[in-house]
């Protein structure tokens, strides 16, 4: 039996977040139509992780729809999976991954920002975390992106850390950057995504959402987790070689 891909999102009270997740999983299904795909939420929405696992009839690979490893991936989700009634393994968080940068570029292009424009400074705006490791991951991603394409990319955080997006936008303007874009390093719409529009940037991209690059990362994390299983527990018929 092929393991179900159970995508676990943070959850939001915003109906647009659920709609975005459903569109993202539809893209996952389009890319891998033979694979069974389900969804669950850590908070604010149902099904919960326990409810989703309880409804499965066989093994699952849980893919956290989180852009960096922190409390939810390292503590919260493993604790919930420990009570699973079916065999389950947890995949890695989605980020960091080069395909996510391509998805960010896709979203920036949709608001008129060309990759490599030397007159544009970019604020890579993440949700934020109390985890130093998660913040360092976002900062490293900003440095890598800047080195590859942009005149200047700085990391910022919508909560729990500094600088805020508004502070990062102001800092870029003080450096003489003529146009500032905020790249929303967020998966779904919600409070954090809405707040980015008050940052003072010239343009703000939409969250990553159902970008095909994000779906491809989800499938890659699933495949990696399946390959890590003991040989007796594998069924690779639903994954790529």
pLDDT surpassing 50 at residue 236: no
- State the Cα–Cα distance between residues 42 and 39, nearest whole angstrom: 10
pLDDT > 70: what percent of the chain?
94
Where does the pLDDT of residue 151 fall: very low under 50, low under 70, confident under 90, or very high at 90 and above?
A: confident
User: From edge to edge, which strands make up the β-sheet containing 37-41?
Assistant: 37-41, 4-9, 60-64, 88-90
Where does the pLDDT of residue 234 fall: very low under 50, low under 70, confident under 90, or very high at 90 and above?
A: low
Domains and CATH numbers, the chain: 4-94+211-238 (3.40.50.1400), 98-204 (3.40.50.1400)
Report the pLDDT value the prediction gives residue 186, as an integer from 0 to 100. Answer: 97
> DSSP assignment of 170-225, as one string?
HHHHHTT-SEEEEEEE-SS-SHHHHHGGGS--SEEPPP-TT-HHHHHHHHHHHHHH
Q: What integer best gives the mean pLDDT of the chain?
A: 92
pLDDT > 90: what percent of the chain?
84
The predicted model gives 101-121 an average pLDDT of 94
Place of tokens 């910022």: 156
pLDDT surpassing 70 at residue 166: yes
Contact of 56 with 6, CB cutoff 8 Å? yes
pLDDT surpassing 60 at residue 116: yes
Least confident of 72-76, 121-125, 153-157: 72-76
Report the pLDDT value the prediction gives residue 238, as an integer from 0 to 100. Answer: 42
pLDDT surpassing 80 at residue 241: no
Report the pLDDT value the prediction gives residue 228, as an integer from 0 to 100. Answer: 87
**pLDDT tens column, 5-57:** 999 999 998 999 999 999 999 999 999 999 999 999 999 999 999 999 999 99
Where does the pLDDT of residue 232 fall: very low under 50, low under 70, confident under 90, or very high at 90 and above?
A: very low
- State the Cα–Cα distance between residues 119 and 40, nearest whole angstrom: 42
The predicted model gives 163-182 an average pLDDT of 96
**pLDDT tens column, 200-224:** 999 999 999 999 999 999 999 999 9
């Amino acid at each position: 039996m092929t393991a179900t891909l159970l995508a676990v999102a943070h959850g939001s009270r915003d109906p647009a977040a659920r709609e975005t997740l459903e569109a993202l999983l539809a893209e996952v299904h389009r890319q891998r139509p033979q694979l069974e795909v389900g969804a669950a939420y850590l908070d604010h929405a149902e099904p919960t992780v326990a409810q989703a696992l309880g409804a499965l009839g066989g093994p699952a690979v849980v893919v956290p729809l989180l852009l960096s490893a922190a409390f939810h991936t390292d503590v919260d989700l493993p604790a919930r999976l420990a009570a699973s009634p079916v065999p389950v393994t947890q995949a890695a968080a989605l980020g960091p991954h080069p395909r996510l940068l391509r998805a960010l570029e896709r979203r920036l292009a949709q608001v008129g920002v060309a990759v490599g424009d030397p007159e544009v400074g970019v604020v890579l705006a993440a949700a934020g975390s109390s985890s130093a490791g998660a913040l360092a991951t976002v900062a490293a991603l900003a440095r890598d992106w800047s080195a590859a394409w942009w005149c200047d990319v700085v990391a910022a955080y919508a909560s729990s850390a500094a600088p805020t997006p508004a502070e990062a936008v102001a800092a870029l303007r003080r450096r003489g950057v003529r146009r500032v874009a905020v790249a929303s390093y967020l998966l779904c719409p919600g409070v954090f995504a809405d707040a980015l529009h008050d940052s003072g940037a010239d343009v703000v991209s939409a969250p990553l959402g159902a970008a095909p690059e994000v779906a491809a990362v989800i499938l890659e994390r699933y495949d990696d987790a399946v390959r890590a299983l003991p040989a007796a527990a594998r069924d690779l018929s639903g994954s790529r070689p």
